[in-house]
Amino acid sequence: MRALVTGADGFIGSHLVEYLLERGYDVKAFTYYNSFNSWGWLDTLEKQKLNQIEIFSGDIRDPNGVKEAIKGMDEVFHLAALIAIPFSYHSPDSYVDTNIKGTLNVLQACRDFDTSKVLITSTSEVYGTARYVPIDENHPYQGQSPYSATKIGADRLAESFYRSFNMPISIVRPFNTYGPRQSARAVIPTIITQLLDGKQEIQLGSLTPTRDFNYVKDTVRGFYEIAKSNKTIGEEINIATNKEISIGELANEIISQINPKAKIVCDEQRLRPEKSEVNRLLGANNKIKKLTDWEPQYTFEEGIRETIDWIRNNISKYKTDIYNI
């Protein structure tokens, strides 16, 4: 099976590339072209594994490059996106170009080449603050940030291509994913890197919002199981644990594992605008369990332990003295 992974140089994408390789896929990794010839997190893979991957450097916003990358592929896993919510507040144009136009480029190319399976990556942020829990796939959408608004737009484009052209599209909606290689703009690496850097005061934003956290290895297995099943075509599918934890509880758990003497302090620049903050996310996972063989395999404690160990061994890759947006 020949598969293209867009956003392969990123956090989830690099793990997905590894997972597909282990299952016998021929993988083409779409990475963001840059003058440094950097392949992102793929550069950290063992040389033997990296030699098995076909690298395609391009820009998801360029329809010609996207079309060239998708030519000859059986399946496409589209993960390339801008995802940082604070950055979307001051640079929304780039989110429209990347998340909406980039997704359109993928959809058009897959239609032209009659690709056998297309997975479009969504986000739990499209739901906004929960109106009811657990949040199932019928929950209303609410664009509480430019980021989430562009992901809603990309999802609806994907739905339109499925309905208009009968394309074999699935919309994959992971709730908050964490694990090795995640950037410091996310809350878990933010906490861990500050603690490992010896800081006694851990700077965070609001502590009351709750999130449903998936360990990255469970998330990428969800992508794989959704791709395997024909029952998932035309469906929007959560990847969620059906458990929630507040940011404050999360921080205290990590603090207890690394430095129990550390304290949490509020950094106002990390606070989202009141109407933009998503206060509660708790995902239903009945649908993915019904349509696939997926079950979460990692407990939160196991995932956090592996994440701490990995960041401890890679702390030099993080800028711990700044607020990463």
Each residue's pLDDT tens digit, 273-283 = 999 999 999 99
- Res 320: pLDDT: 83
Q: Is residue 49 part of a domain?
A: yes
Residue ranges in the chain whose pLDDT is less than 70: none
Range of the domain at 172: 2-178+214-239
Rg (CA), the chain: 19
Each residue's pLDDT tens digit, 37-77 = 999 999 999 999 999 999 999 999 999 999 999 999 999 99
Spatial separation of the C-alpha atoms in residues 111 and 163, rounded to whole Å:
12
Q: Is residue 186 part of a domain?
A: no
Phi, psi of 121 (to 5 degrees): -85, 125
Q: Report residue 124 CA to chain centroid gap.
A: 10
- Sign of the Cα pseudo-torsion (50, 52, 55, 60, in order): negative
Helix or strand holding residue 29 (H, E): strand 26-32
- Kindly report the number of other CB atoms within 10 A of residue 304's CB atom: 22
- Res 14: pLDDT: 98
As given in the structure block, the two tokens for residue 64 are: 């010609």
Half-sphere exposure of 286 (CA within 13 A, CB side): 7
- Kindly report the number of other CB atoms within 10 A of residue 275's CB atom: 9
135 contacts 284 by C-beta, under 8 angstroms: yes
Spatial separation of the C-alpha atoms in residues 141 and 152, rounded to whole Å:
7
Q: Is residue 101 part of a domain?
A: yes
Q: Is residue 148 part of a domain?
A: yes
- Res 325: pLDDT: 77
- Res 169: pLDDT: 98
- Nearest Cα residue to 68 out of 33, 117, 25: 33
Q: Is residue 200 part of a domain?
A: no
Whole-model pTM?
A: 0.96
Each residue's pLDDT tens digit, 139-168 = 999 999 999 999 999 999 999 999 999 999
Q: What is the CATH number of the domain that holds 65?
A: 3.40.50.720
Amino acid at 198: G
Spatial separation of the C-alpha atoms in residues 125 and 142, rounded to whole Å:
8
- Res 206: pLDDT: 93
Spatial separation of the C-alpha atoms in residues 229 and 274, rounded to whole Å:
40
Q: Is residue 287 part of a domain?
A: no
- Nearest Cα residue to 118 out of 81, 74, 82, 154: 74
Q: Is residue 295 part of a domain?
A: no
183 contacts 11 by C-beta, under 8 angstroms: yes
Structurally, the chain folds into a number of domains equal to 1
Q: Is residue 84 part of a domain?
A: yes
